Amino acid sequence: MSLHTFPLNVNGDKRMVTARFADTLLFVLRGRLGLTGAKPGCLNGDCGACSVNVDGWPMKSCLMLAVEAIGKEVTTIEGLKDTPIQKAFVENFAFQCGYCTPGFIMNCHALIKQHPDAGDDTIKEWLESNICRCTGYAEIEKAVKSVLEKK
Amino acid sequence: MLPFDFDYYRPQSLSEAVELYQYVAQQGKKPMFFSGGTELITLGRIDLAHADAVIDIKGIAEGRVMEMDGEYLVLGSTLSLTNIEEANPFPLLTKTSSEIADHTARGKITVGGNICGQIFYREAVLPFLLSDSQVVLVGPKGVKTAFIHDVFNQELQLEKGEFLVQLATERRFVEAPSISIKRRQQWDTGYPLITIAALKIDREIRVAISGLCPFPFRSREVEEVLNRQGVTGEARVERALTVLPRPILNDIEGSTEYRLFVLKNLFIDVLRSLDGMTV
From residue A50, how far is each of A96, B166, B179, B208 by CA, in Å?
17, 32, 34, 35
Q: Are residues A44 and A97 in the same domain?
A: no
DSSP codes of every residue in B77-98: TTSBHHHHHHH-SSHHHHHHHT
Q: What is the pLDDT of residues B94-136, one digit of tens each?
A: 999 998 999 999 999 999 999 999 888 999 999 999 999 999 9
What is the structure's pLDDT at B186? 77
Q: Are residues A130 and A87 in the same domain?
A: yes
Q: Which ipTM was obtained for this model?
A: 0.97
Q: Are residues A43 and A109 in the same domain?
A: no
Q: Are residues A19 and A64 in the same domain?
A: yes
Q: How far is the alpha carbon of A59 from chain B, nearest alpha carbon, in Å?
A: 6
What is the structure's pLDDT at B279? 59
Mean pLDDT of B164-190: 92
Distance CA B105, CA B113 (A): 12
A24:B38 CB<8 A: no
Higher-pLDDT residue of B13 and A150 is: B13
Among A62, A78, A94, residue at a domain's last position: A78
Mean pLDDT of B62-76: 97
Above 90 in pLDDT, residue B239?
yes
- Domain around A15: 4-78
The residue among A68, A105, A114, A131 with the most chain B CBs within 10 A of its CB, best to mutate, is A68
Distance CA B126, CA B96 (A): 8
Mean pLDDT of A43-60: 97
Q: Are residues A73 and A18 in the same domain?
A: yes
Q: Are residues A95 and A141 in the same domain?
A: yes
Q: Are residues A9 and A61 in the same domain?
A: yes
The fold of the B61-173 domain, in CATH, is 3.30.465
Q: What is the pLDDT of residues A59-72, one digit of tens each?
A: 999 999 999 999 99
Q: What is the CATH number of the domain that holds A69?
A: 3.10.20.30
Among A53, A78, A103, residue at a domain's last position: A78
The set of residues, in sequence order, having a beta carbon less than 8 Å from that of B48 and lying 6+ positions away, is B118
**Which backbone phi and psi does B252 adopt, to 5 degrees?**
-65, -25
Q: Which chain A residues touch B44 with a CB distance below 8 Å?
A: 22
What is the structure's pLDDT at B277? 75
Q: How far is the alpha carbon of A58 from chain B, nearest alpha carbon, in Å?
A: 6
For B177-275, CATH number out of 3.40.390.30, 3.30.390.50, 3.40.50.970, 3.20.20.80 equals 3.30.390.50
What is the structure's pLDDT at B19? 98
Q: For residues A55 and A72, is the Cβ–Cβ distance under 8 A?
A: yes
What is the structure's pLDDT at B250? 96
Q: Per-domain residue ranges for chain B?
A: 7-59, 61-173, 177-275
Mean pLDDT of B164-176: 98
Q: For residues A17 and A28, is the Cβ–Cβ distance under 8 A?
A: yes
Q: What is the CATH number of the domain that holds A110?
A: 1.10.150.120
Distance CA A143, CA A149 (A): 10
**Which backbone phi and psi does A62 adopt, to 5 degrees?**
-80, -10
What is the structure's pLDDT at A81? 96
Q: Report the share of chain B in percent with pLDDT over 90.
A: 91
Q: How far is the alpha carbon of B111 from chain A, nearest alpha carbon, in Å?
A: 16
Q: Are residues A18 and A73 in the same domain?
A: yes
CATH code, residues B7-59: 3.30.43.10
Q: Report the share of chain B in percent with pLDDT over 70.
A: 99
Q: How many domains does chain A have?
A: 2
Mean pLDDT of B143-154: 97
Q: Where are the alpha helices (DSSP H) in B35-88?
A: 38-45, 81-87
What is the structure's pLDDT at A77? 98
Distance CA A56, CA B190 (A): 26
Q: What is the pLDDT of residues B179-194, one digit of tens each?
A: 999 998 877 767 789 9
A60:B6 CB<8 A: no
